[in-house]
Amino acid sequence: MKKYDVVVIGLGPAGMAVTNMASEMGLKVLAVESRNIGGECSNTGCIPSKALLAISEKNPMLAEPFARINADIDHIRENRISSLSGKADILLGQGPASFVNGEVIRVGEEEYTGKHIFIATGTRPFIPPIEGLDKVEYLTNENLFQLEAIPESLTFIGGGAIACEMSQAFARMGCKCTIVHDRPYLLPNGEKEAGEFLQRGCEKLGITVYNSRVIARVSKRDNGRIVVRTRDGEEIESEKLVVAAGRSYDFSSLHLENAGVEYGRKGIVVDDYLRTTNKHIHAIGDCNGSYLLSHAAMHQGMLALMNTMMMPPLKKKYLKYPVPWTVFTEPQVSHVGRTSAELDAEHIDYEMVETKYSDYENAVAGDKGEGYVRVYASSAGRIYGVSIVGANSGEMINEWALAIQHNIGLYDLMMTMHSFPTMGFLSKRIGENWMMKKMQPGFVKKLLKLFF
C-alpha cells in the first residue's frame, strides 16, 4: 500500500488547487480523477460556455463552433496534465476512488493511504422528475458542447446561469430559444430587478421567457420535435431540449459510510473549517453544497489545505469570505453579499444607494449606458450587499467583495481615487451619492453655511 501526505479525489477547480499547492510545498500527493482533468468547469462548464459566448459575439457564423471549442479544451487539458507531471502522482481514468476506511482509498485493485484526504468530486446535472422526460433525448451542460451544428430551436428548462448564458449564445447564432422555469424571475438567487433587467436583454435577442411555469410533461412528436407542456396549458415546441435545472450529488461510488463521513441531499456535511465528520477528511468545492461556483471551490481548496497546518485559533472559517458571482450575459449580472430579500428576512435596516450607467458619460459614450450599481448599506456606510447589472460588472464586483471582507465602508470607497474614465469609477460614484444623501437634512445645510 502506497502512503501519501495528501490524497485528492477529484481534479476540478478545488482538487487542482490542493494538488498544486501541496505539491509545491514538497508534500507527497496522490490525485485521483475518474473522468477528465479540470472537472466540469474546464470541460463542460465555465470555459466552453464562455468560448461559445465569445464566438457568438465575434463570429456567430463560424462553421463548426463546437469542434473549435473542443480542440481548445483538449489543448488546455493536455497542458494541465503536463503541468502536474512530476509534481504529483496522478491516477487519471483508472476508475473512481472508494473508501476502505477513514484513511485508505481503493482505486481499481490498488489501495492508497493519506494523512489528509480531500474529497472534491463536484456535482452532476439535476434531472427533474417531469413526466415523459425519461422518454426523450435531452441535452445538459455535459453533452451540449458535443453538438455538431447549431439547432434550429432550443427549449431550456431552468432560469439560472446556464440557461441564460447559453440561450443568448445560441440565439446570436440563429437559434430560436425559449426559457421555461418555475421561479418568478431569471437568476432567482439574485435580485428581482436584476432578473427582470436580464429578461429584457434576452427578449431583445428574440428569446422567449416563461416565468413561474410548472412543466406538466414532455413528449416527442412523430417528426422528432420535442414538446414541453406547462400546467398553464402552453405548448413549447423545439428541435432540441436542454435541461439546466440545477445540480445533484452522487456519492455512491465513494462508499463514504466506510470512512464515517456523513452526507445528505445537499452534499457532504462539513464544519466551519471544511472538515467532514471524519476530521482527517475534507470536502471542498461543489460536493459540500455551500457555493456551486468554480472560484469558491478553488478558494475552499486553498483554505482547507492551510487549515491542516494551523492550530485552531489560526484556522480559517470558509463562510467568513464573501463570494461574488457573475453571469456573463448581455447585460452582465453580478452580485456579492446579501440580497435585499435576505436583509428584509433578517430584519436588518439598510439604505439603498444606486448610480445608473446612463448617468456616467464614459458608459454612454462607449455604448454601455444600460445598467446600474446598487448597494445595500447601513446608515453609517457598512456594506451588506451589492448588485451590478451592466457592462464590465464581473470586473467591478471584485472591489466590492474586498470591501465587504475587510469591512471597508462607503466613505473609504468615496475617498479612494479611481482611474477615470473606467467603468469602475461608478463604484466611487456610489460613495459620493451616499455622502450627498447625508448632506440633505436642513440642519446639515445650515451648519455647512457657517464655513462659507
pLDDT in tens, 38-96: 888 888 889 999 999 999 999 998 888 999 999 999 888 888 887 787 889 999 989 89
Read off the pLDDT of each residue in 401-428 and give the average, rounded to a whole number. 96
pLDDT in tens, 11-40: 999 999 999 999 999 999 999 999 888 888
pLDDT band at 1 (very low <50, low <70, confident <90, very high): confident
pLDDT band at 441 (very low <50, low <70, confident <90, very high): low
pLDDT on residue 11? 95
pTM of the predicted model as reported, rounded to 2 decimal places = 0.93
pLDDT on residue 42? 86
pLDDT in tens, 349-361: 999 999 999 999 9
pLDDT band at 447 (very low <50, low <70, confident <90, very high): low
Q: Judge whether residue 442 has pLDDT over 70.
A: no
- C-alpha angle 134-240-157 in degrees, rounded to nearest 5: 65
- Of the candidates 274, 278, 254, the one whose C-alpha atom is nearest the C-alpha of residue 315 is 274
pLDDT on residue 162? 96
- Of the candidates 13, 21, 54, the one whose C-alpha atom is nearest the C-alpha of residue 37 is 13
3-state secondary structure the chain: CEEEEEEEECCCHHHHHHHHHHHHCCCCEEEEECCCCCHHHHHHCHHHHHHHHHHHHHCCCCCCHHHHHHHHHHHHHHHHHHHHECCEEEEECCCCEEECCCCEEEECCEEEEEEEEEECCCCEECCCCCECHHHCCCECCCCHHHCCCCCCEEEEECCCHHHHHHHHHHHHCCCEEEEECCCCCCCCCCCHHHHHHHHHHHHHCCCEEECCCCEEEEEECCCCCEEEEECCCCEEEECEEEECCCEECCCHHHCHHHHCCCEECCEECCCCCCECCCCCEEECHHHHCCCCCHHHHHHHHHHHHHHCCCCHHHCCCHHHCCCCEEECCCCCEEEEECCHHHHHHCCCCCEEEEEEHHHCHHHHHCCCCCCEEEEEECCCCCEEEEEEECCCHHHHHHHHHHHHHCCCCHHHHHCCCCCCCCCCHHHHHHHHHHHHHHCCCHHHHHHHHCCC
pLDDT on residue 165? 98
pLDDT on residue 304? 98
pLDDT on residue 170? 97
